[in-house]
Chains A and B, each alone.
Chain A
C-alpha cells in the first residue's frame, strides 16, 4: 500500500470549513484513498473514499488532485464534535483488486481541533 503523509495537527474555527490535506505521491493506479476519523476514546469511523473523482457524502467531501498524488478531506461546516484524529489511508479498493493483502494500515493521522 502507498505511504501517506499528513500534518500532525490542525486547528479550525467552529462553523468554518476544515480542509485536511494528505500526500500520497506513490499511489498506484488501482489504489483508492480512504479517510477515517477517531474521536477520543472511540473506535475509528469510516468517512469517505475515492479513486480519482471528487466524492461527497453526508459527512464530508473528498477532493483528489488530477495526478492523484494528494487529496483533501473537507468538512464543510465544522462543529465541536468534529474534533478528532483523521486518518488518510491508501490501498486497493472494493473491486477485488487486492486479494492476498486484506489489511488496512493506519498511520498517526492529523489531530484536528475545532475552536469555539
Chain B
C-alpha cells in the first residue's frame, strides 16, 4: 500500500491564482481530512469527510473548498490564493470517523503564496 499520497510536494502561487492540492489513499478509509500547519503552531483542521459525498468544515475553512466524489480522493481547492494561505498542508485518513484518533498522514504540500 502507498498509504496517503499528496501532490505536489512544493508549489508557489501568485496572489489570486487558484489551484488544487491532491490527496489520495489506497487503504479504503472512510474518513479523510485536511490540515494546515504554520510555523510554531500545531495543526489546524480545514475540512474533513466521513465518506464519499459527505464533507464538513473544520476550524479554518475560509478560502478552501473540498469535495469527495470517491472514497480514495479528497482534493483541496484554493479558489483565490492569498499570502495568508502560505503554509504546509497535510492530508490524513482513518478507517472511519469514529476511529479518527488513529489517522495516517501524507507527506505534506508546502505552499507559498506571493
Tell me, yes or no, whether A binds B.
yes
Q: Which residues of A contact B (CB under 8 A)?
A: 32, 34, 41-46, 49, 87, 89, 91-99, 102-109
Q: Of all chain A residues, which has the CB nearest B42?
A: A106
Contact A104–B103 (Cβ < 8 Å): yes
Counting chain B CB atoms within 10 Å of each CB, which of A46, A89, A104, A108 scores highest?
A: A104
Binds A, one of B11-19, B79-87, B92-100: B92-100
Contacts of A92 in B (CB 8 A): 98, 101
B102 touches A49 (CB 8 A): yes
Q: A41 contacts B108, CB within 8 Å?
A: yes
Summed over the interface, the residue pairs from A and B with CB atoms below 8 Å come to a total of: 67
Q: What chain B residues lie within 8 Å of A44 (beta carbons)? A: 43, 90, 92, 103, 105
Contacts of B103 in A (CB 8 A): 44, 46, 104
Q: Which of B48, B58, B98, B104 contacts A98 (CB 8 A)?
A: B98
Q: B107 touching A42 by the CB < 8 A rule? A: yes
Known: A43-B106, A43-B108, A103-B48. A108 touches B42 (CB 8 A): yes
Q: Which of B43, B48, B98, B104 contacts A106 (CB 8 A)?
A: B43
Q: How far is the CB of B38 from chain A (nearest CB, A)?
A: 11
A41-B108, A43-B105, A45-B105 known; A99 vs B45 contact (CB < 8 Å)? no
Which chain B positions have C-beta within 8 A of A104? 33, 45, 100-101, 103
**Mask for B29-44, Cβ within 8 A of A = 1, else 0?**
0010101000011111
Indicate if the CB atoms of B98 and A96 lie closer than 8 Å: yes
CB contact between A89 and one of B101, B104, B106 (< 8 Å): that residue: B101
Q: Does B50 contact A (CB under 8 A)?
A: yes
Highest count of chain B CB atoms <10 Å: which of A95, A106, A109: A106
A102 and B31 contact, CB distance less than 8 A: yes
Residues of B within 8 A of A103 (CB): 45, 48, 58, 100
25 A-B pairs whose Cβ atoms sit less than 8 Å apart in the complex = A32-B101, A34-B101, A41-B108, A42-B107, A44-B43, A46-B104, A87-B42, A89-B101, A91-B101, A94-B102, A95-B98, A98-B98, A99-B97, A99-B98, A102-B48, A102-B50, A102-B98, A102-B100, A103-B58, A104-B33, A104-B100, A105-B45, A106-B44, A108-B40, A109-B42
